[in-house]
Amino acid sequence: MAKKRTTTLKELANELKLSISTVSRALNDHPDISPATKEIVKNLAKKKHYAPNLFARGFRSQETHILGVIVPNISHLFTSTILKGILEEAEFRGYRVIISESQNNESKQIEMLKTMTQFGVDGILMSLAKKTAALDAILQILNHKPMVLFDKVSDKIPCTQIVIDEEEAAYNAVEHLINLGKKRIAILKETENSFNSEKRYAGYLRALRNNEIAIDEKIILSTEDISLKNGSRLTRMLLSLKKRPDAIFAITDNAAIGAIKALHKFNVKIPQEIAVVGFSNSVNSTIIQPALTTVDQPGDRIGRTAVAYLIKEIENPDNDEAIKTVEIKTSLLVRDSSFTA
């Protein structure tokens, strides 16, 4: 179907025998324009379904009111919760959002960053792809556009970063296990130096030290991809140890669920013999039996906060001290996998 063009200011002006300027001002309620003129103009505009071409307006003012968002994987539940927060807050403040997925691929990430800049987004929200190493391109773009990082961040990029307080969240999770009387707490974490995994590991170590529990390398297990499958695999390794752990802290819910599945297979009682704690509060954490104790990450709030800081920077471009790291507090949701009434 051939599409009609949308109505423009020019068309309205021609039809009313007025100048484009006058029509523009009438629609924007400029005080110079007489009420009578405003009325005729507005009526015709409504009749012809006139809507200003925001593209043209933005083009002139050099502001598009579009924010660019880049995330590694759009279908992670935690990510979509953050996106939800971003979309809501952005809409509330009169901004639109372009979303891209880097698929954890560093060169795609750079390409997307460039395209977004070319599209004239007013600012960029980004969660970094794994193994992001070459920072030049990112730093280069940071010279031109405000940027806020969230969730997967890097302290080598000088911009505002919104994260959850990973270290403390992990600390609380592990201390919870200790308070239940657990003394041999295993951790399932990532091999690579991912920011999040390292922080959670640090919280684990601090909790053990603070409570004078010896650290045992044999029950500190790592994997490339901290998935359900690998959670199961590592748990089977733990079960084959001479001295089994009495609790497992997995740095993702998926891995924790994998752990539970493995424990079921070997008829290990949860939480009596081995308690399990995850991290994320994914939907799955309430589907699995027993329901999983986990860290609730307020994705929604991370998204909203990131947008708030980004817009602040966009609208006050000369505020140099704006750069900081914001840590969003989490809470531990205690469920049956770690606790019996």
Partner DNA sequence: CTGAAAGCGCTTACAG
Residues near a copy of itself, by CB under 8 A? 1-6, 49, 51-56, 58-59, 64, 66, 74-75, 77, 80-81, 83-84, 87-88, 91, 96-101, 114-120, 140, 143-146, 257, 283-284, 287-289, 313, 317-320, 322-323
Edge-to-edge strand ranges of the sheet holding 185-190: 220-223, 185-190, 247-250, 275-277
Nearer to a copy of itself, 182 or 281 (CB): 281
Min separation Cβ 337 and a copy of itself, Å: 13
Query: Closer CB to DNA, residue 7 or residue 160?
Result: 7
Q: Select the binding partner of residue 25 from DNA, a copy of itself, none (C-beta < 5 to 8 A, by kind).
A: DNA
Beta carbons within 8 Å of 60's beta carbon, 6+ residues apart:
none
Q: Coil, helix or strand for 280? A: strand
Q: State which residue, 49 or 242, has the beta carbon closest to a copy of itself.
A: 49
Residue span 39-68 as binding mask against DNA, x where in contact by CB under 7 A, dash where not: -------------xx--xx-xxxx------
Q: Would you list the DSSP string of 221-248?
A: EEESS--HHHHHHHHHHHHTSSS--SEE
Interaction of residue 35 with DNA, rule CB under 7 A: yes
Smallest gap, in angstroms, from Cβ of residue 279 to a copy of itself? Answer: 16
Shortest Å, Cβ 15 to DNA: 13
In the complex with a copy of itself, which residue's Cβ is closer, 87 or 174?
87
When asked if residue 27 is in the footprint of DNA (CB under 7 A), the reply is yes
How many Cα atoms are found within 13 Å in the side-chain-facing hemisphere of 309? 24
Rounded-to-integer distance, Cα 298 and Cα 211, Å: 28
Which position among 1, 3, 4, 5 is part of the footprint of DNA (CB under 7 A)? 5
Tell how strand 123-126 and strand 147-150 pair up: parallel
As a whole number of angstroms, the distance between CA 134 and CA 138 comes to 8
Asked if 317 touches DNA (CB under 7 A), the answer is no
Q: Are strands 294-296 and 331-333 parallel, antiparallel or unpaired?
A: antiparallel
Q: How far is CA 267 from the centre of its chain?
A: 37
Backbone φ and ψ of 205, nearest 5°: -60, -45
Least distance between DNA and beta carbon 24 (Å): 4
The helix/strand/coil state of 341 is coil
Task: Please report whether residue 73 would count as binding DNA according to CB under 7 A.
Answer: no
CB of 21 to DNA, least distance (A): 3
Neighbours of 148 (CB within 10 A): 27
Q: Which does 172 bind (CB under 5 to 8 A by kind): DNA, a copy of itself, none?
A: none
Distances (CA, A) of 29 to 10, 20, 280: 18, 14, 49
Residues near DNA, by CB under 7 A: 5, 8-10, 17-22, 24-25, 27-28, 32-37, 52-53, 56-57, 59-62
